[in-house]
C-alpha cells in the first residue's frame, strides 16, 4: 500500500498549522464555562502564535523518537518527562512526584492523582497519528504508552487513544463519521469518553442546535470549573447548575466538544474552530485538537490564508527545559515546516519498523490492501495492565500487577501478581526468584516456576505472591524479580516498587 508523500506532507503541515491556529484562537477563553462569541482571533498577535503546552510536549516526543527510535515506550518517555517537562501543575506535577518516588507508569499517573481524568494527554495525540499514518492501532499503542505517564487508568488516557487512532486513520479515510467510529473502537465502550462522544453524535443527528447539544453534554458529563472557582462560570451557566462538578473530570466533556465542533462545523474551517471555542471549557485544548484533525483531513492548502497570516509559521514553547534541549532549545523544531519535515522522517522509520507494507513515495496513493482500521476485539487488550507495570523483553512480556495499589502497610499483606506472556513460537518454563529488602516476608515462597505455551495459542501464565511486613518501612521499597529459562543465558530482571 502506498501513501503519496506530497499528500501526506500537506496533511501533516495542516495538522501543525491547525494546532497552532486553534490553540491561539482559544487561549484567551481557556477554562471559562460560558458561551463565547468568537469569529476570529481576539488578540494583537504580531505575526506569532501563542505558546501552548498542547504542542510543546509533542516536540519533546519527536526528539525522544529521534534519539531512541520507533520502539519507544512509557519507561523511556518517563525519563524525558522528568528531564524536560517543567510544569508542576495538576496531572503534570502529580505524575512527576510519583515518578520521582520510583513509581513507573501507569501507577505514576494513577496514584494520588485526581486529574487523571483531565485534558493533559489527549492534547498531545497528533504526533502519534502523524508518525503512524494509516495505522491507528500503532498510533493507539504509542498514545497508550504516552497517556499512562500522567493519566494512568483515567479517562484522559482513553481520550488520547481515541484522538490518536482517529488522527492516524484520517490520513487514509476522509469520512468524519467513519473516523469517529474508528477512534471509538480503540477505547472501552462504557468509558466516559465513549459515552460523551456518542451523546454528541445523537444530539447532532437529532437536529439539536449546537448550543443545546453543548448544554446537554455539560448537564451529564461536566467536571468542576477551573480549580473549583465559581467566577469561571457565567451567570447563565450558574443558573443551569453548571458551576458544580467533580474536580479533574474534564476529558469526557472536552473530547466530546472536539467531536461537536467537527460535526457542527460541517467541513468549514472557521465554523469548526469557532463553534468549538464558543462552547467554552478548555478552549485552547479543544480548538487546537479540532484544528489539527481538520488539517489532517483537508490538508494545509485548505486552511484559509487569513487564519495563517496573523500567527505566521513559528512555534512558541511554554513548558520545556530549553537549557538542555540543545543550545537554548535549538534541538526543537523552530517552525511548522521544520516540524513537518522531521515528522515525515520519523514516519518513514516507524512504517519501516512495523512492516505493514505501507510506504511513503511520490507514486499516487494506493490503498489496496489497507488493513482493517477499527480496533474491534483488540480494543480491550492494552488496558489489561493498568493495575501495574509492563516490562518487555525479547520474547516475553511481564506485568507486575499491584491491583492498582502499591502500598505496603504493617500487618496488611499486599498481593502482587506476575503475569507472563510468551510472544514467540516456542513454549517455555520460566523460573522466578525474588530479591527482597530486609523486613519483608513473602508467601508462599520467594521462587516459583510458570509454564507458558507458545504463541499464537493462549500463551499467558501468572502467579500471585503476598508480601507483608510487621514494621513500618519508609518508601520507596525496592525489590526485584529475576526470571530465567533453563538452558538460556538471558536474565530478565523486573523492578517491583512499593510505597511505605
Between CA 199 and CA 459 the distance in angstroms is: 39
**Three cell numbers, residue 290:** 479540532
CATH number, residue 461: 2.60.40.10
In a domain, 372, yes or no: no
Please write the tens of the pLDDT for every residue from 452-470.
998 887 788 999 999 999 9
325 and 396 assigned to the same domain: no
Confidence class of residue 379 from pLDDT cuts 50, 70 and 90? very low
Please write the tens of the pLDDT for every residue from 400-429.
999 889 999 999 999 999 999 999 999 999
Q: What is the pLDDT of residue 381?
A: 57
Strand order across the beta sheet in which 388-392 lies: 388-392, 396-401, 414-422, 460-468, 441-443
- Residues 159-177: what's their mean pLDDT? 97
- Residues 97-125: what's their mean pLDDT? 95
Find all residues with CB under 8 Å of 303, minimum gap 6, and list them: 14, 17, 18, 21, 269, 294, 295
325 and 431 assigned to the same domain: no
Domain total in the chain: 2
Determine the structural domain holding residue 391 and report its residue range: 387-498
Q: What is the mean pLDDT of the chain?
A: 94
Please write the tens of the pLDDT for every residue from 217-263.
999 999 998 777 888 999 999 999 999 999 999 999 999 999 999 99
For the stretch 95-131, what's the b/e string if a residue is b when 16 or more beta carbons lie within 10 angstroms of its beta carbon?
Answer: bbebbebbbbbbbbbbbebebbbbbbbbbbbbbbbbb
**Three cell numbers, residue 406:** 502499591
Q: Please tell me the least confidently modeled range out of 231-245, 267-281, 359-373.
A: 359-373
455 and 343 assigned to the same domain: no
270 and 203 assigned to the same domain: yes
In a domain, 279, yes or no: yes
Amino acid at each position: 500500500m502506498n501513501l503519496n508523500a506530497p499528500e501526506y506532507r500537506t496533511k501533516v503541515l495542516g495538522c501543525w498549522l491547525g494546532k497552532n491556529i486553534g490553540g491561539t484562537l482559544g487561549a484567551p477563553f481557556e477554562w471559562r464555562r460560558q458561551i463565547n462569541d468568537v469569529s476570529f482571533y481576539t488578540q494583537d498577535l504580531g505575526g506569532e502564535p501563542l505558546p501552548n503546552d498542547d504542542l510543546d510536549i509533542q516536540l519533546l516526543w519527536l526528539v525522544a523518537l529521534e534519539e531512541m527510535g520507533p520502539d519507544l515506550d512509557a519507561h523511556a518517555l518517563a525519563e524525558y518527562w522528568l528531564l524536560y517537562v517543567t510544569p508542576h501543575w495538576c496531572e503534570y506535577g502529580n505524575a512527576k512526584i510519583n515518578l520521582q518516588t520510583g513509581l513507573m507508569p501507569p501507577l505514576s499517573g494513577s496514584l494520588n492523582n485526581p486529574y487523571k481524568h483531565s485534558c493533559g494527554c489527549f492534547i498531545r495525540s497528533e504526533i502519534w497519528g502523524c508518525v503512524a499514518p494509516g495505522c491507528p492501532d500503532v498510533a493507539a499503542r504509542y498514545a497508550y504508552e504516552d497517556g499512562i505517564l500522567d493519566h494512568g487508568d483515567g479517562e484522559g488516557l482513553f481520550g488520547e487513544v481515541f484522538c490518536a487512532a482517529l488522527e492516524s486513520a484520517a490520513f487514509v479515510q476522509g469520512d468524519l463519521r467513519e473516523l469517529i467510529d474508528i477512534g471509538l473502537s480503540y477505547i472501552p465502550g462504557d468509558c466516559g469518553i465513549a459515552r460523551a462522544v456518542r451523546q454528541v453524535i445523537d444530539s447532532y443527528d437529532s437536529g439539536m442546535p449546537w448550543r443545546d447539544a453543548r448544554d446537554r453534554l455539560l448537564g451529564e458529563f461536566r467536571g468542576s470549573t477551573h480549580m473549583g472557582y465559581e467566577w469561571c462560570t457565567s451567570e447563565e451557566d450558574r443558573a443551569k447548575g453548571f458551576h458544580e462538578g467533580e474536580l479533574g473530570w474534564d476529558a469526557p466533556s472536552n473530547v466530546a466538544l472536539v467531536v461537536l465542533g467537527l460535526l457542527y462545523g460541517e467541513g468549514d474551517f472557521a465554523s469548526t474552530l469557532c463553534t468549538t471555542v464558543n462552547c467554552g471549557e478548555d478552549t485552547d485544548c479543544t480548538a487546537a485538537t479540532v484544528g489539527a484533525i481538520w488539517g489532517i483531513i483537508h490538508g494545509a492548502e485548505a486552511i484559509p490564508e487569513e487564519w495563517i497570516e496573523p500567527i505566521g509559521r513559528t512555534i512558541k514553547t511554554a513548558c520545556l527545559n530549553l537549557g538542555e534541549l540543545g543550545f537554548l532549545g535549538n534541538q526543537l523544531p523552530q517552525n511548522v515546516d521544520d516540524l513537518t519535515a522531521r515528522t515525515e522522517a520519523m514516519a518513514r522509520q516507524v512504517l519501516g519498523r512495523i512492516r505493514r507494507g505501507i510506504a511513503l513515495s511520490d507514486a499516487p496513493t494506493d490503498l489496496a490492501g489497507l488493513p482493517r482500521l477499527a480496533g474491534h476485539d483488540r480494543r480491550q487488550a492494552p488496558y489489561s495492565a493498568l493495575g501495574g507495570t509492563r516490562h518487555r523483553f525479547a520474547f516475553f512480556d511481564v506485568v507486575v500487577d499491584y491491583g492498582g495499589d502499591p502500598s505496603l502497610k504493617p500487618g496488611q499483606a499486599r498481593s502482587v501478581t506476575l503475569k507472563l506472556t510468551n510472544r514467540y513460537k516456542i513454549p517455555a518454563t520460566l523460573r522466578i526468584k525474588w530479591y527482597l529488602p530486609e523486613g519483608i516476608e513473602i508467601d508462599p515462597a520467594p521462587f516459583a516456576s510458570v509454564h507458558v505455551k507458545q504463541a499464537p495459542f493462549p500463551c499467558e501464565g501468572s502467579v500471585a505472591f503476598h508480601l507483608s511486613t510487621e514494621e513500618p518501612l519508609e518508601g520507596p521499597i525496592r525489590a526485584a524479580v529475576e526470571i530465567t529459562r533453563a538452558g538460556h543465558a538471558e536474565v530478565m530482571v523486573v523492578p517491583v516498587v512499593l510505597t511505605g
